[in-house]
Structure 1
Amino acid sequence: MTQRIDYQKQAPELFRGLVAVNNLVKQSSIEESICDLVDIRASQINGCGFCVDMHVKQAVMHGERPLRLHHLAIWRESTLFSPRERAALAWTEALTQLSPQGVSDEVYERVRTQLSEKEITDLTYAVMAINAWNRINVGFRSVPGSFDKALGLDKAGLA
């Protein structure tokens, strides 16, 4: 696979803006481990190989257990995720695959029992950010692993 467009070069100011949003999300009230799960799950749904590759490596570097990463695609059936993580994953899926009816009251209530209003808002921005990255990397066919060295992801030991 060959990348179609170097979007960083073509729109550097927009790229920097998206990086800035991403950096703010990482400083939000949502813990790093949940941000990692959200990034991977949304990227799986969107078929973004570049982002799945990147965020799995980041999660490993952050100490995530490999079995939980394998179970992420089946999180509903897995016993490896906390109620808070399950709520975040349900919210991620609902916002990534918007239904014509919107987000159900059931999903919202599930999230509301596990996260504060501030955390739900921050989580929503996290989901928005990864979906933006997924769309640009899928659209321009970014090659998985192509920025590992520049991003320090080669240290994950997963090559």
Structure 2
Amino acid sequence: MSNTAQPRLNYAAQLPELLQKLQEFSMAIVKSGHIEPLLSHLVDIRASQLNGCAFCLDMHVKEAKLHGERELRLHHVSIWRESPLFNAKECAALALTEALTQIAPDGISDELYAKAREQFDEKELTALVFRIMGINAWNRANVAFRTTPGTLDKMFGLDKAGLV
């Protein structure tokens, strides 16, 4: 896809009741309070990178910046394994994000699951998996319909991130 790709359609206008349910699902995960906001942003950014979702990547980088994430860490998300900027919990979440975003034929290894389980209690791990499910759903919709990055910045207050 080139940088001249045009949006295909406004999916929110086509089936607003389905969009509303996905928004409710996403908000329920946030309101559960089982995942720290900055960790949620890292998960959303990594899944969006892997899925090639420009709209979501743009949105979640701006949200992370607004919530106090350091710029260098944002630049390091794609190289998190080599970066010293992420702690064990963040690395476990990023590894699980990658594994669930690009599910291997044999699923999630016991070793990867055990590392995640060391870092997260049962509710946190469940919320993390639901968070990964949610961002993958958003990515797929926005990739399918080529939602233009930045188009909702004003509505969501993302223009205040100072990233243009």
Match of 2:130 in 1: 125
Q: Which residue of 2 aligns with 1:105?
A: 110
Give 2:120's match in structure 1, choosing from 107, 115, 129: 115
Structure 2 CA distance, aligned partners of 1:27 and 1:66? Answer: 26
1:2 shift after superposition:
2.0
Question: Whole-Å Cα distance in 1 between the matches of residues 7 and 157 of structure 2?
Answer: 20
Moved more, 137-146 or 19-28: 19-28
Aligned positions, number: 159
Q: How does 1:1-80 map to 2 (within 5 A)?
A: 1-28=5-32, 29-80=34-85
RMSD of equivalent CA atoms: 0.6
In structure 2, distance between residues paired with 1:51 and 1:5: 16
What's the offset of the Cα at 1:48? 0.2
1:84 paired with 2:89, answer: yes
Structure 1: 5+ residue stretches without partners:
none
TM-score between the two structures when normalised by the length of structure 2: 0.95
Percent of aligned positions that are identical: 57
Three-state SS of the structure 1 residue aligned to 2:35 is: coil
Runs (4+) of structure 1 exceeding 3 A deviation are none
What is the TM-score normalised by the length of structure 1? 0.98
